[in-house]
A = this chain, B = another copy of it.
């Protein structure tokens, strides 16, 4: 038997067992490979005798056959993979998004290729090439820092993609929260506590997210009839250090704020840290509110008031939208806007004066 000889060869050569293919299967079952393929794929157009079908299935079991994904992909022109790009996996905002996406995709028989762009346009571009090389069928861009250029290239290529937590004029395939409204809500809450001197440390103002949260802040102040003060708004970069720097500047003002609305939790955390070293008590001397409600919000002391962003749902909704796109349902869908919720914890209180 060839099989016996082969396995001896393999043993002698220390080679990995040759993969069992459709042909091996067909030989064992005494039919043509095409028939095997049809049986395994449940093709209804052609008829196969029960007895033949059984022989085939037995052979599959016996040989432990697993189809070769690349051959199948090549033939079907589908890789059953999607790419998910994040700027920084270590940022606590992203893991749950990934989790949600993975859940939806794996349920739909898709696999997740994860790319960490480190906000590097080169890497971002490299991942777009994956699309052109048919490695992935679609792309999920989960980053506020995505280059406009990238988005436009994707649109031009006419390939399926969806933006996560970032809107874009050229498409309606994105999943976001209403940053402006949520930010406005937090501002309203701080006003409601009695604060009048409310500062804002923003995100980078070249990001939609950063801008929208700033707008919400201003709206809240205006609605309360509070005058906008230039010196109360400091642009940060969504990272801890810039939150600390901001609070140091703010506390040096003649009229320091009694509350700080930070554009994300890391900024808030940085601010809290700086307060601690400056001897400023939170929330007695300064209320601080964050944004995103990442897991550490409830772990720090005082626990951080923040805006809950449904990250898991965000990942799932984006994934589902991408699957819709892939299945070619051409029904033009509108963007998905998920709801937020202000989670009040211990870092905010009425002003003490």
Contact = CB atoms under 8 A, between A and B. Distances in A.
Interface stretch (A93-101, A144-152, A169-177, A180-188): A93-101
A134 B68 contact: yes
Contact of A106 (B67, B99, B123): B123
B92 A115 contact: no
A74 B134 CA distance: 13
B300 A133 contact: no
Given A70-B73, A112-B114, A134-B19, A95 B106 contact: no
Interface string A46-84: 000000000000000000101111110110000101000
A89 B102 contact: yes
Contact of A90 (B90, B96, B129, B299): B96
Contacts of A132: 19, 64, 66
A39 to B, nearest CB: 18
B129 A66 contact: yes
A130 interface: yes
A225 interface: no
A301 interface: yes
A332 to B, nearest CB: 13
Given A74-B74, A158-B17, A113 B81 contact: yes
How many copies of this chain does one complex carry? Answer: 2
B74 A102 contact: no
Contacts of A71: 74
B113 A113 contact: yes
A142 interface: no
A37 to B, nearest CB: 15
Given A68-B133, A79-B70, A113 B112 contact: yes
A239 interface: no
A299 B96 CA distance: 20
A89 B79 contact: no
A345 interface: no
Given A70-B70, A114-B114, A89 B95 contact: yes
19 contacts: A19-B132, A19-B134, A64-B132, A66-B132, A67-B133, A68-B133, A69-B133, A69-B134, A81-B113, A90-B295, A98-B116, A102-B114, A111-B115, A112-B113, A112-B115, A113-B114, A276-B301, A296-B299, A299-B299
Closest 5 CB pairs of A and B: A301-B301, A114-B114, A66-B132, A70-B73, A70-B74
Given A276-B301, A300-B300, 16 more contacts: A19-B132, A68-B134, A69-B79, A69-B135, A70-B73, A81-B113, A90-B295, A94-B95, A95-B95, A98-B114, A98-B116, A99-B116, A111-B113, A114-B114, A299-B299, A299-B300
